[in-house]
Amino acid sequence: VTDLILRDVEVAGVTGLDIAIAGGIIRAIGRRLDGKATQEIDGAGGALLPGLIDHHIHLLALAAELDSIVLAPERSWVACLQDADRRLPSGRWLRATGYHESFMGALDRHRLDAVIPGRPVRVQHSTGALWVLNSEALERVGANEHSPAGVERAGAGAPTGKVFREDAWLRRTLRADYPSLAQVAALLDGYGITGVTDASVTNDQAAAALLAERGPRDGLRQRVYLMTGDPEAPVSTTPLLGAGPMKIMLDDEGLGDPAVMATKIRDARAHRRRVAVHCVTTAQLAYALAAFAEAGTLAGDRIEHGSLIDDAMADGIAKLGLTVVSQPAFVAQRGDRYLAEVDPAEHGHLYRLAGLKAHDVALAGSSDAPYGPADPWAGMRAAVTRRTVSGAVLAGDERLNPREALDLYLGHFANPGSRPRRIEVGEPADLCLMSAPLRIVLGELRSELVRATIVAGRPSMSPSPPRTTA
């Protein structure tokens, strides 16, 4: 039985094709396919693309962000919290991000209690390294003398409300209160994204179990490829939740001997895993390349961000066969800050794209959401224009053409910088149906042109009406 037939779509430049899907797999591609299906969609000449993959995202943080209020200097933070307090049902957590002492002063449990006494509140510092909890929140998480070291206490006494770098502990203790993934699911469906790699180093077995259980319940249909910080792969895998690489974080302080990271790479290999390393500075990249050179590489080992890469390092990355997983939209979102703060001699090394391709470096695209915009089409536009919010151009030589920009999101999970996936018989039916032909899609690179996102043969139609393609 055919589950779904897509009629009159354009595949790789060939117009007027029908696609038959059964059991989550593409079964036939041809003109005017015979037969009936449970569901038919008239593609009206729109392009059919392989489903997009966001190769570096943080699902739980994004869910929390979509469920949070954002504090900012231009509005009164007290009024923001009190407004949210009035809107929320009683007993629900109030979560806020964007705290900074420059406009809020020093914050602790007592200051928060004075603003919101009656419900649990937690406020995240804009660096992400600190949460401040009010008294009700401390009670809910059961903060006491056995709490981990990041839970600050006044001398040997009561918690101050400040909790430093204990996100994994907070997630475990707040399990039942965790934000829904429903808004994340809707967002990804609207972008044509059929899969994501969750790159959080804090992912552990509990996070994997939470995603395996809560994802389907909250309507998250996308495939998830889950990195973890430990060499052991997640055990709670499902048909839609698989094990990704082991993630290694680096801090400029205490980089030390690359042999330390080489040992971690060998641990990952013992568990048959690839490795992804967070590299945002030149020192981190040099260290990581030395470690990879010592331990050896596998196709699909990755450099996350690769924020600053000169030509010599690009050659080193290519020689080791590593993939750079970049965030093209950072150029648009943060480019003006980079231009102001980064040494002008290094502007040409920032979030490089075309220059890396010229050095034969495998390249893939991602959002790093919620820390960058989640829309992959915004990433593609930034890759093509290299334009910042103010309209300045950051390293214009690094521009890609629209086809190359789209291809950043079409690689494989396990080897994201590989050749783009293709729409072929026998392949999984993870597809993105556009409301216009490829020529128009590449000219505009806008998520508004996504008409349906199909994961394992199951379509989700975009709420926006199909656009005429004439």
Rounded Cα distance, 331 and 461, in Å? 31
Residue closer to Zn ion (CB basis): 27 or 56: 56
Tell me how many residues contact Zn ion (CB under 5 A).
2
Query: What burial class does residue 415 get, using C-beta atoms within 10 Å of its C-beta: 0-12 exposed, 13-18 middle, 19+ buried?
Result: middle
Nearer to Zn ion, 301 or 368 (CB): 368
Between 127 and 468, CB nearer to Zn ion: 127
Site for Zn ion in 265-284 (CB under 5 A): none
3-state secondary structure of 168: helix
Binding Zn ion (rule: CB under 5 A), the pick from 368, 375, 398, 407 is: 368
Q: Judged by CB, which is closer to Zn ion: 191, or 330?
A: 330
Provide the minimum distance between the beta carbon of 252 and Zn ion in the complex, in angstroms, as a whole number.
17
Is the CB of residue 213 less than 8 Å from the CB of residue 175? no
Segment interacting with Zn ion (CB under 5 A) among 24-32, 73-81, 364-372, 430-438: 364-372
Residue 99 three-state SS: strand
Shorter beta-carbon distance to Zn ion: residue 249 or 392: 249
Nearer to Zn ion, 309 or 452 (CB): 309
Which range touches Zn ion (CB under 5 A), out of 32-40, 90-98, 113-121, 368-376? 368-376
Q: How far is the CB of 391 from Zn ion (least distance, A)?
A: 27
Three-state DSSP at 333 gives helix
- Name the minimum Å distance from CB 45 to Zn ion: 38
Distance of closest approach, residue 175 Cβ to Zn ion, in angstroms: 22
Helices (H), 18-76: 59-66
Residue 56 or residue 359: which is nearer to Zn ion going by CB?
56
How would you label 326-353 residue by residue, b for 16+ Cβ within 10 Å and e otherwise? bbbbbbbbbbbebbeeeeeeeebbbbbb
CA distance 55 to 208: 17
CA distance 463 to 181: 19
Q: How far apart are CA 325 and CA 310, in angstroms?
A: 16
* Rounded least distance, CB 451 to Zn ion, Å: 30
Stretch of 5-13, 199-207, 229-237, 289-297 contacting Zn ion, by CB under 5 A? 199-207
From the list 76-84, 111-119, 193-201, 382-390, the region that binds Zn ion by CB under 5 A is 193-201
Identify whether 370 is preceded by a cis peptide bond (ω within 30 of 0).
Answer: yes
Other beta carbons within 10 angstroms of residue 22's beta carbon come to 17
Q: Which stretch binds Zn ion (CB under 5 A): 124-132, 187-195, 280-288, 360-368?
A: 360-368
Contact footprint for Zn ion (CB under 5 A): 199, 368
